[in-house]
Chains A and B, each alone.
Chain A
Amino acid sequence: MSELSLDLPGTTKRLDVAGSTHRIVVAADPQNAAQAQPGEARSYGWRLLPWLLPVSIVLAWHVLSTTTNIFAGVLPGPLEVVDAASQLAERGELQRDIYVSIRRVAIGFSLGAATGLVLGVIVGLSSLVRGLLDRTLQMVRTIPHLALVPLMILWFGIGEEPRILLVAMGTLFPVYINTMGGIRNVDPKLIELGRSYGLNSLELVRSIILPGALQPILVGIRYALGVAWLTLVIAETIASREGIGYMVQNARELLRIDVIVLAIILYAIAGWFADLATRLVERRLLRWHPNYAKGTEP
């Protein structure tokens, strides 16, 4: 008798051999049945699983930096970073920098994503507009938007505009490409159905084309959020007076490694929150979709 590997939770599969007869038995396994319940019924341990790695890394970092001196002068311990954070918070700088950065990402991302969405929908729907715009947009898309930094500064100076515009440019294209592709890939049979059920163009877009393209659109938005933060890091290191990027720039000049590490952690947390938000939106909007219906842990 031997156990066979099987990935079905709550089930065991084994091979019985009696003489020359081979028998495969697949049976319910009540001990592991809890795992078979997707979603809510999962145990505490399962929910804590994603935290295991980050918590262990921070713990190891703490232990190594307090008991040994391999990080001395290179990497401050987690407690020192927390200390730096509280000092900055006391002076009100931390809150201000976080607020400014989030505000820039929010405005730039909204601008870029909205433009990308509208362009993607129009280009996806109309072959006339596609013929007119798509070639040009695909060409502009391949320009690394960060290459425009010097130009932006020359045009707009060192105010808020160049930063927000750069973030907007970074987010526009991922959203545009995924929206256009998604719309062009909506099942033509469903569109025909909508037409034969008397939907006008607006209703057709709202009830069939946009929901049908939603999945790739959300992929684009998720990717664009990552690009938005990346762009901001660059945009804020140039001639900035506030924001997380400025905080890093300043810290480098003052040799404050703890503040630099703090900024990196802030970016990681921001990225995590952005991802969490898009996942929640995905789960809500795509709850009809078998892959999103259950078991997607935030």
Chain B
Amino acid sequence: MKIGATLFIRSVGKSFGTRQVLRDIDIDIPAGQFVSLIGPSGVGKSTLLRIIAGLEPLSAGAVELESVNPRPDIRMMFQEDRLLPWRSVLRNVTLGLRNGDEQARLMLSSVGLEGREDEFPIVLSGGQRQRVALARALIHEPDVLLLDEPFGALDAITRAAMQMLLESLLARRPRTVVLVTHDVEEALLLSDRVLLMRDGQIARDLTIEQDRPRHRGDPALAALKEELLDGLLAAETAH
């Protein structure tokens, strides 16, 4: 079984015109680690994620991926579901696959959408659409899963359900995950490590060692949350 790939982010820099968004970022992410990127908006979290995904050219440095897999695979899930409205739920999941129907049905039932395969995305709720997007990303068994605020637009209850779903799917099949979020609690519940970004750089690198499953009320997490929020606030004012 694959346990993801190791990511080396080496002196990565990115400028849009004269504005430098990322400067000299160095992170090693070991295989199977769940890393969250938090920070004020506009700090370059999503840009870093898009650079890792190969969707954005970088201005300096390099991103390396190391895996036992001969063709390491990275999949990204976006804040918007980006489902193709003209394809059925099943056909959205099989996008880019040949003969993936059986697998897609299994994947859809593991995200709780069995029986909805032939419907069009338009009839699904926001949470259900993100479940389809998650199934579409996971069906490729990616070594690295990149999540760009995928639950940001969902209501609190749906979001909690999606977090639990993600956690249980990853427990079954671990892989390297990088999550961009503005929700400190989400980062603390899900990740092994939280990176706080500030001014286009990594300001804090925090390892979260609490056992799973974690609970929102956990006092140790609450203390960490307090600390991170302070860091965020400082970053916001510096920004």
Contact = CB atoms under 8 A, between A and B. Distances in A.
Partners in one complex: yes
Interface of A: 189-190, 192-199, 203, 207-208, 211-212, 214, 286-290, 293
Given A288-B122, A293-B122, A192 B55 contact: yes
Contacts of A190: 82, 84
Interface in B53-90: 53-55, 75-76, 78, 80, 82, 84-87
- State the majority secondary structure of interface residues on B: loop
A67 B12 CA distance: 90
Given A189-B78, A288-B122, A199 B95 contact: yes
A197 B95 contact: yes
A208 B136 CA distance: 16
B80 A211 contact: no
Contact of B86 (A195, A198, A203, A288): A288
Contact of B96 (A197, A287, A289): A197
B8 interface: no
Contact of B76 (A196, A212, A289): A196
Contact of A193 (B78, B120, B122): B78
Contacts of B78: 189, 193
Residue with the highest number of chain A CB atoms closer than 10 Å, among B95, B120, B121: B95
Contacts of A197: 75, 95-96, 136
B55 A288 contact: no
A207 B84 contact: yes
Interface in B125-175: 136
A199 B96 contact: yes
B95 A211 contact: no
B84 A196 contact: no
Interface residues of B, number: 18
A214 to B, nearest CB: 7
Contacts of B85: 288-289
A186 B76 CA distance: 20
Contacts of A207: 84, 87, 95
Residue with the highest number of chain B CB atoms closer than 10 Å, among A196, A212, A214: A196
A295 to B, nearest CB: 15
26 contacts: A189-B78, A189-B80, A190-B82, A192-B55, A193-B82, A195-B55, A196-B76, A197-B75, A197-B95, A197-B96, A198-B96, A199-B96, A207-B87, A208-B84, A211-B84, A211-B86, A212-B86, A214-B86, A286-B86, A287-B120, A288-B85, A288-B87, A288-B122, A289-B86, A289-B122, A293-B122
A122 B128 CA distance: 36
A264 B130 CA distance: 54
A196 to B, nearest CB: 6
Contacts of A214: 86
A62 B166 CA distance: 72
Contacts of B82: 189-190, 193
B122 A196 contact: no
Contacts of B120: 287-288
A137 to B, nearest CB: 28
A172 to B, nearest CB: 26
Contacts of B122: 288-290, 293
A196 B56 CA distance: 11
Contacts of B87: 207, 211, 288
Interface in B174-220: none
Contacts of B76: 196
Contacts of B96: 194, 197-199, 203
Contacts of A288: 85-87, 120-122
Residue with the highest number of chain B CB atoms closer than 10 Å, among A203, A207, A288, A290: A288
Contacts of B121: 288
Nearest to B121: A288
Contacts of B80: 189
A192 B76 CA distance: 11
